[in-house]
Structure 1
Amino acid sequence: MATYLVGDIQGCYLDLRHLLDTVHFSSSHDHLYIVGDLIARGPDSLAVLRYVRDLGEHAHTVLGNHDLHLLAVAEGIIKAKDKDKILPILEAPDCDELLYWLRHQPLLIHRNIGNNTAPGFVITHAGIPPVWDLHHAKKCASEVEDILISNRYVWLLRNMYSDHPTHWLDSLQSIERYRYIINALTRMRYLDMSGGLDMVCKLAPEKITNQHLFPWFYVKRNKPMLETLVFGHWATLGGIQDDNLLGLDTGCVWGGSMTIVRWEDGKSFSLPCEIHAN
C-alpha cells in the first residue's frame, strides 16, 4: 500500500489518469490525497469529480477555491464563467449527488502515515497562515466545514466573496471570521509586512517587484510546525519540495505538468500536460 499526494487537477482528467498509471496506483490498495481544485479550466471536470468520488475511502481531498466557487454557482449566487468549463457538471444527471459529496469534503487534512509517532503531513489548498499553529488551523477549518454540511451553507457561500478582513483576530465573529478562514486556506499566496493577506498578486516570488510582500511560507510561524505542509493553488510557483513544505501545483491546466509524490519515500513523478486553459 502506498500513499500518493497530487497537485491541482482542475478538470484535467486524462492527465490525472496517465499520471496514476505511471506510478501504478491501485484503487483498491493505495491512497490518493489531493490538494483541492478538482475542477475548472480543464476539459473534463465532471469526469474528475466522478472518479475521485468513486474511489471512496481510497481518495481524500480538501476543498480549493474553485471547488467552493462551483458550489456557489450551483446555488445561483454567482454566474459561471465560460473559462471555468463547469456547465457539464451542472447539467449532469448526478449533479446533486456530486455537489453534496463535494461540500462534505474538508478544508484541512492531517495524517500520520505508517508511524503514529512521526509528524506526518497536513494538507490545505493554499497553506496555513503563520499566525496559526496546527491546532488552531484545524479548529478554524472545522468551523467552516460544519457550516458547509449544514442548512447554513448557502448563506456562507453567498457571503464568502470578499478580500476582507485581511488580518486574523481571535475576536473575529460570524462571516468575517469564516471569510478569513476560507481566504487563508484556499486563496492565500502573499502576506504584507503586517502579516495581512494579499489577495491580488499571483506572480512567482522571483518576479515580484513589491518589496512589501512575502510568500506566506517564508514568514516565521508563531509556533513551529513539525508536520510537512502540503499545498497547491500557486501555479506560478512551479512546485516546491523542502523538509517541511511540499507545493504540488505545477500548472498542469496551463500547459505545465501534473505532479504526484509518493509519501513513503518522497519520490516525485511529473508528466507534461496539454494546454487546457484559455
Structure 2
Amino acid sequence: MATYVIGDLQGCYDVLQRLLQRISYDPTQDKLWFCGDLIARGPQSLQCLQFVKSLGDNAVCVLGNHDLHFIACYYGFNSVKAKDLLQPLLDSPQLDELVQWLRHLPLLYISPDQRYLLVHAGLAPQWSLNDAITLTNEVQQLLRDDPQTLLGVMYGNQPDSFAAGLSAEQRWRFTVNSCTRMRFCREDGTLELKEKGHPRYQTALVPWYEFWRNKPHPELFFGHWAALNGYSPVADIHALDTGCVWGNALTAYCIETQQRYSVAGL
C-alpha cells in the first residue's frame, strides 16, 4: 500500500493517467491525495472531477482557488472564463452532482495519525495549527450547509492579516485566501496576493512557508505555486505543483518511500 500526493491537475486528465501508470497505481491498495485545483485551464476538467470522485475513500482532495471559483460561478456569484475551458463540465448532466461533491471537499486535510497535512496554497503566518483547523472547519461547514452566504463574501484581498475582532465575513475570506490563494507575504506576515513569481525575484517578499519553518506542524504538502516547480527549501513542507497545465510536468510524491515521480504535462 502506498500514498501518493499529486500536484495541481487543472483539467489534465490524460496526463494524470500517464502518471498513474508511471507509479503502477493499484486502486485496490493505494491512496491518492490531490492538492486542489482539479479543474480549469486544461481540456479535461470534467474527466478529472469524474475520476477523482469515482475513487471514493481511496482519494483525498482539498479545494483550490479554481475549484472554489467554479462553485461560485455555479451559484451565480461570478462568471466562467473562456480560457478555463469548462464548457464540457457546464454542459454535463452530472454538473449538479459534481458541484455538490466539490462543496463537500475540505480546505485542509490532516491524516488520522496527525502526521501529514494537505492544503492547496498554505497556512497563514499568524495562525497556529489549531487556528488553521478551527478556521477551516468553520468555512468548510458553511460551504456545505449555506454555500451562498460564504460565496457572496468570498472575493477580495482584505483583510490581509488575521487578528482578533474580525467579522465573520472577514474571517471566512481571510481563511479562503490563505488556504487557496496565498504565495507570498510581506515581512510583517500580511498576505500579498498578487505576486506569482519565484522567490528569487522577490527580495522584499517572504514565501509563506518561511513563517512555518520553526512552527510545530505535521509534514505538509501544498500545490498552487507553479513557479516553485516543486521545490521548497523547508524540509518538511513539500511543494507539488510542477506546472502540468503550463507544459512542465505533473508530479506525485510517495509518502512511504519519500520518492517523487513526474511525467510530462501538456
| Matched AA of 2:222 | F
Number of the residue aligned with 1:161:
155
Q: How far does the alpha carbon of each residue in 1:57-88 deviate from its partner, in whole angstroms, 9 at most, with x for none?
A: 00110000000001011112111111111121
Match of 2:192 among 189, 198, 220: 198
Match of 2:138 among 143, 153, 161: 143
Q: Would the aligned equivalents of 1:165 and 1:176 in 2 still touch at CA under 8 Å?
A: yes
Q: How far does the alpha carbon of each residue in 1:188-208 deviate from its partner, in whole angstroms, 9 at most, with x for none?
A: 001112211001110111122
Between the aligned partners of 1:83 and 1:164, the Cα distance in structure 2 is 27
Between the aligned partners of 1:2 and 1:25, the Cα distance in structure 2 is 9
Q: How far does the alpha carbon of each residue in 1:192-250 deviate from its partner, in whole angstroms, 9 at most, with x for none?
A: 12211001110111122xx33111112356x7224111100000111125521100000
Are 2:192 and 1:235 aligned?
A: no
Q: Would the aligned equivalents of 1:260 and 1:270 in 2 still touch at CA under 8 Å?
A: yes
Q: Would the aligned equivalents of 1:127 and 1:229 in 2 still touch at CA under 8 Å?
A: no
Normalised to the residue count of structure 2, the TM-score between the two structures is: 0.96
Number of the residue aligned with 2:254:
262
Aligned length: 265
Match of 2:174 among 167, 172, 180: 180
Distance 1:226 1:213, change over 3 A: same
Between the aligned partners of 2:144 and 2:62, the Cα distance in structure 1 is 14
Between the aligned partners of 1:63 and 1:226, the Cα distance in structure 2 is 20
- Unaligned ranges ≥5, structure 1: none
| Matched AA of 1:29 | Q
Q: Would the aligned equivalents of 2:160 and 2:192 in 1 still touch at CA under 8 Å?
A: yes
Between the aligned partners of 1:154 and 1:256, the Cα distance in structure 2 is 36
Distance 1:220 1:104, change over 3 A: closer
Q: Would the aligned equivalents of 2:126 and 2:161 in 1 still touch at CA under 8 Å?
A: no
DSSP 3-state at the match of 2:246 = coil
Between the aligned partners of 1:273 and 1:199, the Cα distance in structure 2 is 26
Q: Please provide the CA RMSD for this pair.
A: 1.3
Number of the residue aligned with 1:86:
86
Q: Would the aligned equivalents of 2:252 and 2:262 in 1 still touch at CA under 8 Å?
A: yes
Between the aligned partners of 1:226 and 1:192, the Cα distance in structure 2 is 21
Number of the residue aligned with 1:2:
2
What is the percentage of aligned positions where both structures have the same residue?
Answer: 40
Number of the residue aligned with 1:244:
236
Between the aligned partners of 2:79 and 2:156, the Cα distance in structure 1 is 16
| Matched AA of 2:173 | R
Number of the residue aligned with 1:55:
55
Deviation at 1:91, TM superposition (A): 1.1
Between the aligned partners of 2:34 and 2:257, the Cα distance in structure 1 is 18
- Unaligned ranges ≥5, structure 2: none
Q: Would the aligned equivalents of 2:103 and 2:144 in 1 still touch at CA under 8 Å?
A: yes
Q: Would the aligned equivalents of 1:110 and 1:123 in 2 still touch at CA under 8 Å?
A: yes
Normalised to the residue count of structure 1, the TM-score between the two structures is: 0.92
| Matched AA of 2:107 | L
